[in-house]
Structure 1
Amino acid sequence: MATIAQAKDPLTQVVYRFDDHRYLELKGYDCEGELWYTDTVRGIHTEPVSQFYRIFTRKFMHPSEHYIALPNWESDGFIISKDYGQTWQVARFSPGPNEPNGDDYAPREDVTSFTVVNDQGFLQTKHSLYTSSKPFEDPRVLPGGPGIPYTLEDGTVQTVEPSAPGWAWGMVYMTKQGLSHSTSQFKTNWQDLPDHVPEVKNYQGWDHMRCDMDAGKATQKL
């Protein structure tokens, strides 16, 4: 007599807990499907990813509440919210030579952890640290601002204009090497970035996402 797995309706399971009132749920089969975010205190229940989400398997610590960043299995980008999880956008790695081989992103096999603390994200790899900016905009590039002048190696003076300010805060992740090739380096929210992931103390959430591959399946004997 053989036993086979028979799929039922997709099951929803909690795959991550930030604290006692915020958590992520995955609805689907084989740890892939819709991703839902819930904050019971603020009354928020939103869908960051509508399908094909696969959990991030490396160390993951996320005490931040205002800025939420969710990596995926490939670690090739982030789904982020800057309003406590009410709305979601896609954040990516910056163009430029972030990696020793010239790539602009971290290979999945090199990623060791992702931490979001004080509304700033930190992706650690075996040899690099990717960060988002500090959680504010440089007022000089906001509408009506004076812009940010800077000087090229040949002495030419350029300006980062409010009409073309570049990435908004929290929307791009860079290494310090990549930042050195970007005009973002002149913005105050990209200044004095740490060289190490900040320490997280007294975190009440999980340190990894969790998922049961057999959830939502029943067995039938033949």
Structure 2
Amino acid sequence: MLQTDRETLDVQRTHAVRGRFNAWLLEVLDGYQHRKYAALKREMFGGLSHTVLELGAGDGANFRYLAPGTRVIAIEPNVHMHRWLRARAARHGIDVDVRAATAEALPLADRTVDAVISSLVLCTVPDPARVLAEVRRVLRPGGRYWCIEHVAAPEGSALAGLQRALRRPWRWMFEGCETCRDTARLLREAGFASVEVTPFTLPTVFAPIRPQIAAVAVR
């Protein structure tokens, strides 16, 4: 078995142990993340309505940016997040359908949704290319995938060196989160009709996740 395969299995095997910690951590950091991302998320997600598929819905932090009455199919494999997810849905008037599934195997038929969203999720999944293939599969023609992701810093930079140095402990602590992923390239290679990527730097004390992108991909 390859080393990367063993690491993926380790993450999956210990998910239940760290799941409670990460569910708690998301709640603790909710206000901080809202301050950092609110304007961008309102711009990206605020106009969506009807039915939205959210990958890695976590504790429902993105529900505040959606219109009340929106139906959200919330994919969240960490069951320790679900009580907060449902509570936030009730608070923001979201009709939520919580599914304890993975983004690599979405429990939806082909071409069934017009909008998919995610934030800081493609960094964590073991097989992001497979996730993007699943997104394309469930989107109707013309449907859009909106995402925000932290990404690898420019090669040769001090920050890239820090990301590499912290990769393994960061991955272990945060349920598989990768610090060095070239997500923009993955999006462009996924077969979407068009992909628009906007790089930005997040002003945060968490240095490994400062380089980020906001992207929209059209089916």
Please indicate the TM-score interval, normalised by the length of the shorter structure. under 0.3
Higher relative contact order (CA 8 A, sep 6+): 1
Q: Which has the higher helix share?
A: 2
TM-score for both structures, normalised by structure 2: 0.25
Q: Which has the higher strand share?
A: 1
Structure possessing the higher radius of gyration over alpha carbons: 1
TM-score for both structures, normalised by structure 1: 0.24
